Structure 1
Amino acid sequence: MIGQWHREIEDRLGSRIVSWRRYLHQRPELSFEEKHTPAFIAAELEKLGLEVRTGVGGGGVVGVLRGAGPGPTIALRADFDALPIQDEKDVEYASTVPGVMHACGHDGHTSSLLGVATLLSEQREKLRGSIVFLFQHAEEKPPGGAQAMIADGCLDGVDAVFGIHLATELPVGQIGLCDGTFMANVDAFTIHVEGKGGHAARPHESVDSIVIACELVGQLQQIVSRRVGPMHPAVVSVGKIQGGTAFNVIAGRTMLEGTVRTFDPQVRALIEQEVRIIAEGVARSSHASIRVDYMNGYPSLVNHSKETAIVREAVAGTLPDAAIVDLEKRMGAEDFAYYLQHKPGSFLYVGARGEDERTHYPHHHPRFDIDERALLQSAKVFLSIVGRYLTEPS
């Protein structure tokens, strides 16, 4: 049966899935600003006769497909927000929205899951249980959309939840799994330095906020090397410094933004403490006022062993041409972690790098693109999981 589903989604729905992806790619929407995309998703799901809820958690869409017989309920998740990046690809489906693009594959996630919903809506009589299709807004921007959707009941009655992320780090045909801890805690900080502006020729009459900001950057880099134990992975990165107005003016205000990535909750707390201690110390020694805004973002993503093993078994048994690779944990982050705090499940990667060099750019790059064969591969993996849970032995 599952093999037949795979053939059908490739033969009948492959071109439609690609078309959906390109349509969405041209119309990206930023986190918490999604309007057209969820409306488009809801309209497609309603055509299939699913039970559809919109505005879930503020911006999400949930579709429920009930099978002909009793059985478990599984949830499949796709995200649909874009990033504030200018699309630099020279392709016919490039973003038409200045400064906004799908640079992480969320358009592909959504299109693949719509294809799965379309096919399975025609197979209700063969399903023993239910499928909850989770289309999530705002994955890219903490606090994200997952928590709000969960609070709004999207996981009510769900027995297990699964998510897929397209990955250009893996070639098409590879499926990446990780049992246990997979992704990091992610935190963000903003440091506001308030000095005293003045003429660049008379620095002794000013308090130079840019010099102070540079000192902060140097000291922040010593947290991981000198305050965190060497056996505990951690990252502190400053990604933005903004200050000054002219070459001959000492800046009175400068702002820094950065991120912290950890796995251990004690290390997570330690780094926040150290950021604040450093800021206080530099403020005292430099006669400046420094304020730290620190935000705890997504928690570490931890896959459940049983469900990850089920995915491995389902893929190996139904996709003989797929190569399963075991992934090491990584410093990236995902708010899918929240779903896994509430329900057992697993989050996996599907290879999206092809032979064409345009598919070799990393995620969040202005020329990011995928090999669209990965869209069908993602759909097939989801179908294999559904078959493992909701069909009778054939």
Structure 2
Amino acid sequence: MMDIRKEIENRYEEMQAVRRHMHKYPELSFQETNTKAYIYEQIKDLPLEIERDVGGNGLRAELHVNDDFKTVALRADFDALPITEENDVAYKSEIDGIMHACGHDAHTAMLITTAKILCAHKDTLPVNVVFIFQHAEEQLPGGAISMVEAGVLNGVDYVYGIHVSSKYPTGMLGYNYGYKHAAADSFHFKVMGRGGHGAEPHVANDPVVAAASLIQQLQTIVSRTVDPLKSAVVTAAMFNAGSAFNIIPNNADISGTVRTFDKEVQDKVITRMEGIRRGIEESFALECELEYVKGYPAVLNSDELVDMLLEATEGKTEFISSVEEVELSMGGEDFAYYLEKVPGVFFNIGTMNKELETDYPHHHPKFDIDEAGMQAGVEAYLRLITNFREV
């Protein structure tokens, strides 16, 4: 029987070193050339069937145990963000303007460590395991969709993924039944009028006034179109128009984001936006264009597989401090593409430690993690795999 505490403790410093190396040398989405090579070096000598450059910069590594067994995939992303790091740590990013401000370095370190431990216990496992190392989660269209199209889930029956969280205390496992993350869309309105002198608005056709009306009408979508028992967010986050106080511009631009869980709600929001666009054109006698881009779909967990995760982590655990149901997130996550193909679960591991100042929000220039939380993530994976049963 696997001694989980001993296995994780024996590899903790190695896992920490992997995470810190990745933190020092981050790469942006779709540019992860050195990162993918580093990951390959970490796993190349393990008894894995490794595919490189899957769907771009991704890697797929399969631990095949038995033809008659089900196959479970575990996924980690490894891209960074265009943020200048402000932490004063030995492993601070050495790449100007780029840092791991979301924990993807930890995700990869945990998965590499999990792979090494499971490979050492291959003959005792009840399932085959596929390790998915995914590029480009942070930037549309995301790496997951291209990896799925390239066959990363071929032969896979179930999929699980972890995201560290600075909202939850170190070692806490946070789960959700049903929806976990919202669909993350973007929109852009271009209002095209006719410019002129600020003192003579009657001979111009002011796009600023029309755009202001448009923004006000957007605020009615959630309050007057969406079922109040369902969730939606419509945020106009950018308004650009004009160059001087006394000049009416030709155009005004509005950009923002829409977050929904339910596909029907998403369709209603889009329909209302199109209606508002037509109304602005008719009311103000100008042109108005709408570009709506659907981002990542909503992340929908399988309730049966959540139950399996909870069963695997119930009772005495070594590094998992607690197991708690957590709030939904309106943030986007391209793990959704895996869940559209096979059932699975996306869950959190807490890395927040106020004494270590690892309570800054994700995407903040001072974001960091309590690395002890990585032990809980590996434990969750090990308990899940070694106790897996067929659904």
Deviations 1:284-337 (A, max 9, x none): 333432211111222222211221111101111461653110123332222212
Residue correspondences, number: 388
Structure 1 residues 111 and 210 mapped into 2: Cα distance closer, same or farther (>3 Å)? farther
Report 1:203-242 matches (<5 A). Answer: 203-242=201-240
8 A contact 2:126–2:386 mirrored in 1: no
Report 1:275-294 matches (<5 A). Answer: 275-294=273-292
Structure 2: distance between partners of 1:36 and 1:378: 25
8 A contact 1:179–1:304 mirrored in 2: yes
8 A contact 1:68–1:124 mirrored in 2: no
Report 1:349-368 matches (<5 A). Answer: 349-356=348-355, 358-368=357-367
Deviations 1:75-106 (A, max 9, x none): 00011122233323233323333333222111
Of the three residues 186, 189, 192, the one matched with 1:191 is: 189
Q: Residue 374 of structure 1 corresponds to which residue in structure 2?
A: 373
Q: Residue 333 of structure 1 corresponds to which residue in structure 2?
A: 332
8 A contact 2:74–2:132 mirrored in 1: yes
TM norm structure 2 = 0.91
Cα RMSD, aligned residues only: 2.2
Of the three residues 93, 96, 100, the one matched with 1:95 is: 93
Q: Residue 106 of structure 1 corresponds to which residue in structure 2?
A: 104
The DSSP-based 3-state class of the residue aligned with 1:14 is helix
Give the CA deviation at 1:359: 1.2
Structure 2: distance between partners of 1:6 and 1:201: 75
8 A contact 1:139–1:334 mirrored in 2: yes
8 A contact 2:182–2:260 mirrored in 1: yes
The DSSP-based 3-state class of the residue aligned with 1:359 is coil
Mean Cα deviation higher: 376-385 or 202-211: 202-211
Structure 1 alignment gaps of length 5 or more: none
Give the CA deviation at 1:236: 0.3
Structure 2: distance between partners of 1:62 and 1:175: 26
Q: Residue 163 of structure 1 corresponds to which residue in structure 2?
A: 161
Structure 2 residue identity aligned to 1:216:
L
Of the three residues 25, 28, 48, the one matched with 2:26 is: 28
TM norm structure 1 = 0.91
Structure 1 residue identity aligned to 2:65:
G
The DSSP-based 3-state class of the residue aligned with 2:369 is coil
Aligned pair 1:388/2:387, yes or no?
yes
Q: Residue 56 of structure 1 corresponds to which residue in structure 2?
A: 54
Structure 1: distance between partners of 2:84 and 2:212: 28
Give the CA deviation at 1:8: 1.7
8 A contact 2:186–2:294 mirrored in 1: yes
Give the CA deviation at 1:49: 4.1
Aligned pair 1:131/2:134, yes or no?
no
Structure 2: distance between partners of 1:28 and 1:256: 32
Structure 1 residues 349 and 63 mapped into 2: Cα distance closer, same or farther (>3 Å)? same
8 A contact 2:297–2:334 mirrored in 1: yes
Q: Residue 303 of structure 1 corresponds to which residue in structure 2?
A: 301
8 A contact 1:233–1:263 mirrored in 2: yes
Structure 2: distance between partners of 1:208 and 1:19: 58
Structure 2: distance between partners of 1:91 and 1:215: 48
Q: Residue 176 of structure 2 corresponds to which residue in structure 1?
A: 178
Structure 2: distance between partners of 1:291 and 1:51: 49
Identity %: 41
Structure 2: distance between partners of 1:53 and 1:31: 20
Structure 1 residue identity aligned to 2:222:
V
Structure 1 residues 59 and 208 mapped into 2: Cα distance closer, same or farther (>3 Å)? farther
Structure 2: distance between partners of 1:349 and 1:23: 23
8 A contact 2:188–2:255 mirrored in 1: yes
Structure 2 alignment gaps of length 5 or more: none
Structure 1 residues 39 and 249 mapped into 2: Cα distance closer, same or farther (>3 Å)? farther
Give the CA deviation at 1:209: 3.7
Q: Residue 343 of structure 2 corresponds to which residue in structure 1?
A: 344
8 A contact 1:183–1:333 mirrored in 2: yes
Structure 1 residue identity aligned to 2:288:
I
Give the CA deviation at 1:205: 4.3
8 A contact 1:69–1:127 mirrored in 2: no
Structure 1 residue identity aligned to 2:370:
D
Structure 2: distance between partners of 1:45 and 1:249: 62
Mean Cα deviation higher: 379-388 or 287-296: 287-296
Report 1:315-330 matches (<5 A). Answer: 315-317=313-315, 319=317, 322-330=321-329
The DSSP-based 3-state class of the residue aligned with 2:255 is strand
